[in-house]
Structure 1
Amino acid sequence: MFQHLFATMNEMLDEILVHYPQAHGSTKEDLNQKLTLLKSMSDGIVEEWLRFEEKMGVLREGHPNHAPEAQAVLPESRTEAFQRGQGYYKLGMFDLAAQAFEQVVKQYPDSIVGRIYLAMAYLQLNEFNDAYRHFQFIIPLTESNKLKAISYNALGCIQAQNQNLEKAQEYFNIAHKADPSFQEPLANLKICESNDGTFQYGSELSSFM
């Protein structure tokens, strides 16, 4: 359902991007109306998602055995900025997610959960220096083997993007040793060896959080 909705929204936005620079008069007014509609739809989706997450949070509090421990006990996960950022991240709106999680880590500098989302959002935006800095901060502080694996795997992807394949392979191996059940590092090692394919990162973040 959501795939079809976002496909339609993206098609409309692509059309606007093509025609807007040369548009004038009534044509430009029509495109502006479409932009307003898209923004309203996007804001509405995010609002409904955050409302859904809030209700799920109430359910988790009532059934703690069915909820991730970090979500149940960490104060930052209850903030408006965190919930907004998580909603944006899950919708693929990584620039807005990064802005929200910057607020979270400013208020909670030692928040591992907030910082992993922030680092991954920067990685999705190809802001590799910012992403690298936050992943380096996370690794020595977290006791979670899964988060260590996610972080080392992301560092490997950044090194690979910078054509440092030997260092990338080193990070992918460390990630696999940290959590052998995490499959992305092994897939990325094969990509390094074959020099063909798209590096994988972030697929387990939402389920882990």
Structure 2
Amino acid sequence: MLSLARTSLRPARTTFTRSLVARAAAVHTLPPLPYAYDALEPYISEEIMKLHHDKHHQTYVNGLNAAEESYAKADDTKTKIALQSALKFNGGGHINHTLFWKNLSPAKEDGGKLVDGKLKDEIVKAFGSVEELKKRFNATTAAIQGSGWGWLGLNPTTKQLEIVTTANQDPLISHVPIIGVDIWEHAFYLQYKNVKVDYLSEIWNVINFKEAEKRLVDALKQ
């Protein structure tokens, strides 16, 4: 009898352990930067990168984990509906910033360098030239009222590159994100003050076009 009792407990313990592992794996964490904090200087300062990554992005991660935990515990529809805004804001902040860090690269490495290839071809086809893309992108993104993001996205229906914006921390849903630029003040104010057009002009020097081309090629395969 004792032997049978012990045997019967093993599956329960295994299930419980797996549940704990699955729950731990589901917790969102702050991804490390793929370069040093000062690697994007002089275009984005070390001070901004430390605050932006360690403080702002971490806040979104914490908020998302808290919102998801509360949602999982909620046993009524009203509470779950009330949590939707927190999930969208913090989830979008985490998604957008995770993409943003990979979207940048030091100028001494891949930053700002767009070589001949699929991305350049598609940019020229959609906008006439790379410089025209930058001009239109900067004008559209600078015109955002308040905080938000500027995007170069691939329209999944037409397979064309388009410039779109999202408000606050809303993730880009309508298009496949190829390049995203954070236009929240925490992304530039310590260095560029209120002149966000200067920030938008300079950030092209550290845009990781190699990563952007990889996203484009992958998206076109879908």
TM-score by length of 2: 0.29
Q: Give 1 or 2: higher helix fraction.
A: 1
Q: Whose RCO is larger (CA < 8 A, sep 6+)?
A: 2
Q: Give 1 or 2: higher strand fraction.
A: 2
Structure exhibiting the larger radius of gyration computed from Cα positions: 2
